[in-house]
Structure 1
Amino acid sequence: MMETRLSSVLFLACCFVRAFGDDSPFVTTSQGRIVGTTLQFRPEGRPELHGAVDAYLGIPYAEPPVGPLRLRPPVAKSWSGELQAKMPGNPCPQPEIKMGKLSPIVRFAEDCLVLDVFVPQQVPSNAAVLVFIHGGGYFFGQGTIEELSPATTAVIGDVILVTMNYRLGALGFLSTGDDVIPGNFGLLDQQLALKWVRDNIQAFGGDPERVAIFGESAGSVSVNLQMLSPGSAGLFRGAIMESGNPHSPLSTTDHRKVAFALGKLLGCERDTSEELLQCLQKVEDIDSIIKSQQEGLAKEFGYGILLAPVVDGSFLPDQPAELYAKGAINDAVSIIGSNANEGMLGFTMLFPDNTDEAPFINSATYDAYYPMFGSIISTEPIVANAVKLMYTDPTCTDGPGCNYVEALSQMSGDFSFVCPADKTARAYTQAGRKVYRYFMTHDPTTKISGPSWLKANHGEEIPFVFGLPLVGLPSDDYPTTEDEVRMSIRTIKYWSNLAKTGNPNLSSLDAELTDEEKQTEWPLFTVEGLEYKDLTPDMLNGRGIKARECRFFNEFVPQLIKTAEDAKKCKESSSKWTQDGSSDSETCTKDKCPEVPEE
């Protein structure tokens, strides 16, 4: 039973056929020989795309992070001889979460720091390399998922594709805010995997000088942070960020409090970081760690991303905004983008059973839900009112037929994904880095995240990056169109070209664009022009992604919050405020708040 499950984990029955026999592909690295397996790529009705891929699965890049290596930086794996790399490795410990129409592997184990390498048999010598960093809010996910086989992208893009697993949740991001448990272990795992690619990819026919990394959601934030980490300089030449960057709201909770609270839940109530670490390294029941981080911490601190990257002074020397201001950004060409309906992500959790039609949210329900969506913006009432004014339809307010779903969705998506991407693109450009921007407005025929009313939801670009419209799903529940097949192929080639040439438009440095390609050539982003590619089958260009909304969030709202906070401080500190709340205008001015009188 286990053998059957493992053999089907990566490969779609309609498109991939595993080759059995004595002719297993192999490569020879400095450590020893790695033996893989061959996949025949056979998308139905598309003979022009047929090919074969040599897959090397479950290659360990680090020692198992157990015992004294738990909650410590990763240690490069030492091995010799022959490594059988025909089966995928373990995903890192995480809660079992249904991922829409996708089927992640659920045999979790701490011995999970592995990567997979997919090499098309027709790939050229010194091939370009794409390295994928998965998302999942830093608490779930895995590098390779059955229905999104990286082999498709490798064949269509004519590149070597590498995926990786990295530590998640408390095991990957717990921090005591000091050198004992500094945190960022999952990010250090990613960095070590990238160093493995640098040191070993030539054995697979790859060029370590032509590597691009890409990720979605938390994987996209990770790509951004690798761009800011001094230890990652020179490990890649391209960076692709799909819906996530360090300006996105993550955790504002005191990480040290979270660490000691988790220790208490696990029977490790201790006084010092050293004592806490020693106790946590001895906890044998991994399920109890996962349950405590998901349920126990949520009860104490509320739901949210409590375990996330931190400024540790080493991997991440300073706050991203400070590093941006200094131009301390690694040298790489970037693609930075987001989707038109990112905020629908929240509704998949609020209405998990609403599969037929979009939920109806009236004005009162909007006000009730706003704290859930808008508290990450500000709890100031004036800010909430400004956001509601900005996003609700002025021709339909408070009426019984007014649906506020789109208002909540767009507000949440713009604040969390679209407008932070605008900040990042501007910062990279001002630091002299080349940036290409995209905005996916295409409403997919089928969503991997749920029902059709989710539109271009968070993560819906992933099927196009991994070629799902070309191959469908095993259960035949992923209908698509020829336009979407064309869109997927174009997207894969854009991503692959960035690794090949540093330009998504060019597959080789001596290539020339056709007349048709010139008409839709993806322009560089500039602060003056705000150019971007509209990710649809037509791949047209545009200017100013949500420019009005992003000025609102990136410029006006911070000023409004400061004004509200200054007014509150002024009111609290002035001894001349009267009982009814009126003020002495000469005492409290917009330029100067009164000092608290000394007793």
Structure 2
Amino acid sequence: MTTLEIVLALALCLGTASAASLGPVLTEGGMVEGSNHRLGFLRYMDVFKGIPFAAQPGRFEIPKPHPGWEGVLKTRSYGKRCLQVTLTQTGTRGSEDCLFLNIWVPQGRTVSTGLPVMVYLFGGGFLVGGSMGANFLNNYLYSGEEIADRGNVIVVTLSYRVGTLGFLSSGDASGPGNYGLWDQHAGIAWVHRNIKAFGGDPENVTVFGESAGAASVNFQIISPKNKGLIRRAISQSGVALSPWAVNRNPRALAEQVALKVGCPTDDKMMPCLKITDPVALTLAGSLHLEGSPSNPLVFNLLLAPVIDGDFIPDDPGNLFHNAADIDYMAGVNSMDGHIFCGLDVPSVNQPLKPTPLEVVQELLTSLTREKGPEAAAIAYSVYSQNWGPDPSKAIVKQTVAEIETDFIFLVPTQAALYLHANKANTARTFSYLFSMPTRIPGFPSWMGADHAEDLQYVFGKPFTTPFAYFPRHRDVSDYMMAYWTNFARTGDPSTGESRVPVAWPAFTSSGHQYLEINDKINRDSVQQNLRIPFVQYWTETYARFPTVTGSSAE
């Protein structure tokens, strides 16, 4: 045996002898047993998949505690998604028995204790999604393994009801809605009560999410129901102020669903819907997901949270005092709106086809329809101010993507950050812009980061599947996992166990500083006043116009 072979054998024996694992864990429902595997020298991961955090929910009811189980529950495979439409909206998948969560616990030579906890809420337009995310060759998007291992944090992903069963509301006490938000709350509360047994710190829970999950994070921190449960929060591309995040006329959609499944639309509507076949109910909640300049897709996302007087007791903009002691990080992708404008204005993605200026005007007229033609005219002058007399095809198309990014994501996020900073007591506020160029082939050369492209980096996919990425992608993934887990640990993304390329200053109501995140982060990445002329147009100029009588807002 060579010296090298002896050293390797000793290392292997030491590693095996020192394997740290929780083994079976006692939760409030009973014992659970996950799996443990080795990641490297003295590095292991305990994984629990499919732990029930609530009972199977009653139709259009808030979740109830799980009754528990006898013996040791093997938690080694993901629970089913909540019942939802397929991506084509022609069928369904999932189950009504779906309130499960998954936990990743990093271990070293000894069993971990007192770790920060990061709870992830998935996106999917409040219509689709699951706690495990998309899957390719058993590589699940929302696997918490990389971020847990590299950041030395516990990662939890949880499920919640979506679509009709999660967000249909009658607009009154017979069907108040927000069932999906109640599910998220039940999962967060379960984590708070049980995570200590897994080695987590129940007083240091960070909730993070993307898109509808990001708006959900915002709803959870401004709801009075979560007092004392959440220490920090991260919203990636979505806030409660986003135009798609609240349905202000839920009754209309509920009546449409009722008519589709043969239920009355009077006071017998909800009792009838409660006994209707759940698959038929889910399919009846299919949304019209085609857009045009005159009918932008953003206005068709109607299954969403509502102001119910309970979980969301008031307009979200009036509830940020509830987050005064919760550290908050929020940001957007530089081309978040591209996924929308590709459907509303298809010529944006057709290199040889110009986007007529009249189409830009039509789109802005639609987006500003609550305020009338004068608001649209000013918006057009703001967005075309740098075009010159003969704008290129590319600049017009890029402007369309920027308009939708601003309206749907960036401006509401900046408004939420300002409100949070303004209402903060002990809390800190952080703002970012993710601008790593798209990896999707065939998109225009001016493209930045499209919607959801940040997720692969936050969940460490460039390390999980290294052959699918270049070194620059591993760099940005490393930076994001470091900032995210430092923030979860200390409330400051620059301070913690992970090294970061540059200090990220807090966002204040006077400084408006933010970090631009890509693979080239340096001192110049810290900037101020993100797209300020456009933010000022939407939050000040546009907001001052009176609402037009008979608009959709009435």
TM-score, with normalisation over the residues of structure 1? 0.78
Cα drift, residue 392 of structure 1: 2.5
Aligned pairs (5 A) from 1:505-584: 505-507=494-496, 520-539=502-521, 540-559=525-544, 561-562=545-546, 565=548
Find 2:33's aligned residue among 29, 32, 35. 35
Flag the structure with larger Rg: 1
Contact 2:221 2:230 in 1 (8 A): no
Which residue identity is paired with 2:310? S
**CA–CA distance in 2 between the matches of 1:471 and 1:142?**
20
Cα drift, residue 336 of structure 1: 1.1
1:119 aligns with 2:105: yes
Change (3 A) 1:213 1:296: closer
Aligned pairs (5 A) from 1:47-446: 51-65=43-57, 69-81=58-70, 82-97=72-87, 107-122=93-108, 124-145=112-133, 146=135, 147-148=140-141, 149-250=143-244, 251-252=246-247, 254-272=249-267, 275-284=268-277, 286-294=278-286, 304-324=300-320, 327-329=321-323, 331-350=325-344, 360-370=354-364, 374-375=366-367, 378=370, 380-392=372-384, 394-396=386-388, 401=393, 404-432=396-424, 433-444=427-438, 446=439
Consecutive unaligned residues in structure 1, runs of 5 or more: 1-22, 42-46, 100-105, 570-599
Tell me the SS of whatever aligns to 1:342: coil
Cα drift, residue 54 of structure 1: 1.6
Which residue identity is paired with 1:28? L
Aligned pairs (5 A) from 1:457-536: 457-472=450-465, 478=468, 480-507=469-496, 520-536=502-518
Cα drift, residue 26 of structure 1: 2.5
Q: How many residues align?
A: 510
Tell me the SS of whatever aligns to 2:79: coil
Contact 2:116 2:488 in 1 (8 A): yes
Tell me the SS of whatever aligns to 2:32: strand
Contact 1:37 1:86 in 2 (8 A): yes
Q: Which residue of 1 aligns with 2:24?
A: 26
Tell me the SS of whatever aligns to 1:406: helix
Contact 2:223 2:319 in 1 (8 A): no
Tell me the SS of whatever aligns to 1:294: coil
Which residue identity is paired with 1:119? V
**CA–CA distance in 1 between the matches of 2:391 and 2:496?**
54
Which residue identity is paired with 2:429? V
Change (3 A) 1:263 1:356: closer
Tell me the SS of whatever aligns to 1:499: helix
**CA–CA distance in 2 between the matches of 1:270 and 1:356?**
44
Tell me the SS of whatever aligns to 2:161: coil
User: Percent same amino acid at aligned positions?
Assistant: 29
**CA–CA distance in 2 between the matches of 1:36 and 1:402?**
52
Aligned pairs (5 A) from 1:449-464: 454-464=447-457
**Cα deviations across residues 296-347 of structure 1 (Å, max 9, x unaligned)?**
8999x996121211111111111112224xx343521111111111111214
Contact 2:192 2:202 in 1 (8 A): yes
Change (3 A) 1:295 1:422: closer
Cα drift, residue 31 of structure 1: 2.9
Contact 1:495 1:504 in 2 (8 A): yes
**CA–CA distance in 1 between the matches of 2:475 and 2:402?**
28
**Cα deviations across residues 211-258 of structure 1 (Å, max 9, x unaligned)?**
100011111111111111111011111100111112110255521222
Task: Between 539-548 and 222-231, report the one with greater CA deviation.
Answer: 539-548
Change (3 A) 1:178 1:407: same
**Cα deviations across residues 187-206 of structure 1 (Å, max 9, x unaligned)?**
00000001100111111111
Change (3 A) 1:313 1:497: same
Contact 2:55 2:66 in 1 (8 A): yes
Change (3 A) 1:320 1:437: same
Which residue identity is paired with 1:216? E
Consecutive unaligned residues in structure 2, runs of 5 or more: 1-20
Contact 1:343 1:414 in 2 (8 A): yes
Cα drift, residue 29 of structure 1: 2.1
Change (3 A) 1:330 1:429: closer
Change (3 A) 1:92 1:241: same
**CA–CA distance in 1 between the matches of 2:243 and 2:481?**
29
**CA–CA distance in 1 between the matches of 2:451 and 2:475?**
21
Change (3 A) 1:528 1:403: closer
**Cα deviations across residues 25-76 of structure 1 (Å, max 9, x unaligned)?**
42122432101123454xxxxx78x9432211111111112xxx11011111
**CA–CA distance in 1 between the matches of 2:113 and 2:350?**
50
Cα drift, residue 80 of structure 1: 2.6
Contact 1:144 1:150 in 2 (8 A): no
Tell me the SS of whatever aligns to 2:44: strand
**CA–CA distance in 2 between the matches of 1:534 and 1:230?**
32
Contact 2:119 2:157 in 1 (8 A): yes
Tell me the SS of whatever aligns to 2:319: helix
Contact 1:90 1:109 in 2 (8 A): yes
Tell me the SS of whatever aligns to 1:404: helix
Q: CA RMSD in A?
A: 3.3
Which residue identity is paired with 2:464? V
Cα drift, residue 377 of structure 1: 5.9
